[in-house]
Structure 1
Amino acid sequence: MAPDVQDRSAPGSFHTTDALPVPHRRAYWRGALSETFGAVNMTVPDEVYSGTIRATPLGRLQAVTVDGDCLSALRTRRLVSQDDQDEYVVVKLLDRGVARLEQDGREALLGPGDVFVYDMARPLKLTLPQHFRTKSLVLPRDVLGLRESDMAQVTACPLGPDTPLGGLLSPFLAGLVDGARDYPPRTSELMARNVVDLLGVMADEVLGRSAAEPPDGNRAVLLRIQAFIDRHLADPDLTPRAIARAHHISLRHLHKLFESEEATVGRWIQRRRLQECRRDLALHPDVTIAAVAHRWGFTSAAHFSRVFRAAYGMAPREWRGTQDPAPRLPSSAGTLAA
């Protein structure tokens, strides 16, 4: 195996074959794909001429660009069952080349400018038969907020650049992924939260739903509220009443919206705060636990420790001691993010 060629000057990861002798490129490229894409059967040509993979954190999302020769990626039921981190969805723009995606009994033939979705929780096959470039957003399934039945209808249903929404999403997704490594951390978080609304509109477009149709019409409102919560997690005065007032809805209607999330509004806020605290505890080992808790809206360090232990089965200090502080693309998030 040739030595790893990565740019470590920016968050995320970068792999390229360009600096390697030609005989070493195929082995390196397969290794880079495996490291990034996790549990997948990957086929690449006998001779690899060039290939790059760039993955950049964008809040809870990952922005991934892959430029390379032809490949075929197969995720079988066995691989899905063996992968304990399959809770990711990939929203992808085919920027160059052609592709074929098979999932949920559908086959989509794709061309430049097409935007499409696939779900890592179920088997799929992605074939790119010629030189290609893709730009992807990899996001936890809970961020998109789709029911299982809806997700199964959205996969392998591309939006072309000649459609009204596809024409909007294609350049937006390209610009978002291209600029991800240059955004300041706060801007990255805001961009990631705001893009969720557009993805929700994309899902409605594929499903043929109108925003006025109940109960699914409320999902767009729910996603906007969840994005609002994410933007204001650091505010200790973030309460259900304040959220309802900001969105001009009743408190009763707000609680009704969250019934589908199997969590009260207060529990949702606490869960998101804990998730951000857990991330910061790993990424910033020199910051005190009390400072991390305060940053994300917990006014009492003792209360934070109690709810953290209740959620994760150990104290914040114990959890921090088990973590690798280096940021990495989750193996399942990267899977098939080509």
Structure 2
Amino acid sequence: MYTWSTEQVDPRDRFDYWREVRAKGLFGVTAELEPEQRRDFFGEFSLRKLGDAGLVELRASPYRVERRAADIADAQSDSLCIYQQLGGGGWFGGARLDEFAVRDGMFATSYSDLPYRTVPLHDDGFHLRIIKIPVAGIIPPGAELSELVPRPVPDQTALRTLLESCFRDLVEGSNAAAADAPPTVQALAYIALIQRGIMRPKSRLAQQALRTGHLSLARRLIRRHLSNATLSPRLIAGLLGISVRHLHILFEETEMSFSETVTVLRLAQSRRLLRETPGQTIAEVAFACGFESLATFYRLFNASESMTPGDYRARLA
């Protein structure tokens, strides 16, 4: 991962450096700020490769951003951009763009090489994540990239939850896992294109992306309900809005079934609690992880670790 901050630059030169080297050179945008505010400017970002795609997290003091025709000509990116707003919010506008604002947690999508303007809504400035995915090989034939002007992803929709889950998988992945990122990156891109009406939901690639998104979200829901001893395929399928059969088919395409996934996650959680909560009894750990009985916990833990939970904890002491 590459990281950079204006703390590495003399305060008198921070905004000028950010504008000319980072904003224009790296992001391909024009940055503007009143001269009297430049000395107090702060900006930082990180960049992590996800195969051919890239994940950027940016935090900066308030300033005005515009991607003009000249910027696009000088720094073409030819990418699908998926944004997540992390700070207080931002405003977007442009010549062909309906103005909109994004608040904390919201997502937006766009094609990189279209003009736009943006400013933060509040004094805390910018804080956002962007995944940029090269469009080569992912845009359906005949699709009009000019239609992909910046636009927010509506909240409370099924596609939004799938998009967010895949996005979080990539954000939470380690550098070591970057080699495994391309399938998730592709699924994220296709879900975004389905949401924008660029890709037909019934196409083969779209259906594959939706399966990836549902599987990602299913695993998140399992973790969320892990302490529930009544966690079942019916519960997770209901939360996903799919049939139990469909849920089992999703897991059949992976290395572990639904029940095996639940057991592996519960055992991982139990190991963490045994390490980090010495005040909890073995029984409290077992039930906190959703095991239906102490006997079941001992049997599965011993099969996994070749020792009892008590021996595991004692070994760490």
Q: TM-score range by the shorter chain?
A: 0.5 to 0.7
Match of 1:173 among 145, 157, 167: 167
Distance change >3 Å, CA 82–CA 24, structure 1 → 2: closer
Residue in 2 that maps onto 1:44: 33
Q: Which amino acid aligns with 1:102?
A: G
On the 8 A contact 1:114/1:166 being kept in 2, the answer is: no
TM-score where L is the length of structure 2: 0.55
On the 8 A contact 1:114/1:170 being kept in 2, the answer is: no
Residue in 2 that maps onto 1:33: 23
What do residues 56-92 of structure 1 show as CA deviations (whole Å, max 9, x unaligned)? 1110001100011112221222332344x33222111
Q: Does 1:200 align with 2:186?
A: no
Distance change >3 Å, CA 174–CA 44, structure 1 → 2: farther
Q: Which amino acid aligns with 1:193?
A: P
Residue in 2 that maps onto 1:94: 85
How many residues were matched structurally? Answer: 203
Distance change >3 Å, CA 147–CA 177, structure 1 → 2: farther
Matches within 5 A, 1:276-315: none
Residue in 1 that maps onto 2:116: 124
Counterpart CA distance in 1 for 2:70 and 2:17 is 26
On the 8 A contact 2:46/2:58 being kept in 1, the answer is: yes
Residue in 2 that maps onto 1:188: 178
Shift of 1:108: 2.4
Q: Which amino acid aligns with 1:41?
A: T
Q: Does 1:142 align with 2:136?
A: yes
Q: Which amino acid aligns with 2:81?
A: V
Counterpart CA distance in 2 for 1:170 and 1:221 is 17
SS for the counterpart of 1:144 is coil
Match of 2:206 among 193, 217, 220: 220
Where in structure 1 are there 5+ consecutive unaligned residues? 1-10, 225-338
Residue in 1 that maps onto 2:127: 133
Name which one, 1 or 2, has greater alpha-carbon Rg: 2
Shift of 1:113: 1.5
Distance change >3 Å, CA 62–CA 209, structure 1 → 2: closer
Quick one: percent identity of the two aligned structures? 15
TM-score where L is the length of structure 1: 0.52
What do residues 156-183 of structure 1 show as CA deviations (whole Å, max 9, x unaligned)? 221144333323433542452354xx32
Match of 2:99 among 96, 102, 107: 107
On the 8 A contact 1:91/1:118 being kept in 2, the answer is: yes
Match of 2:54 among 55, 62, 67: 62
Q: Does 1:17 align with 2:6?
A: yes
Counterpart CA distance in 2 for 1:118 and 1:208 is 12
Counterpart CA distance in 1 for 2:141 and 2:192 is 15
Counterpart CA distance in 2 for 1:171 and 1:68 is 26
Residue in 2 that maps onto 1:285: none
What do residues 21-55 of structure 1 show as CA deviations (whole Å, max 9, x unaligned)? 544433343333333213x2211352334321111
Residue in 2 that maps onto 1:76: 68
Distance change >3 Å, CA 172–CA 63, structure 1 → 2: same
Q: Does 1:153 align with 2:147?
A: yes
Shift of 1:15: 1.2
Counterpart CA distance in 2 for 1:127 and 1:222 is 36
On the 8 A contact 1:98/1:128 being kept in 2, the answer is: yes
Counterpart CA distance in 1 for 2:68 and 2:198 is 29
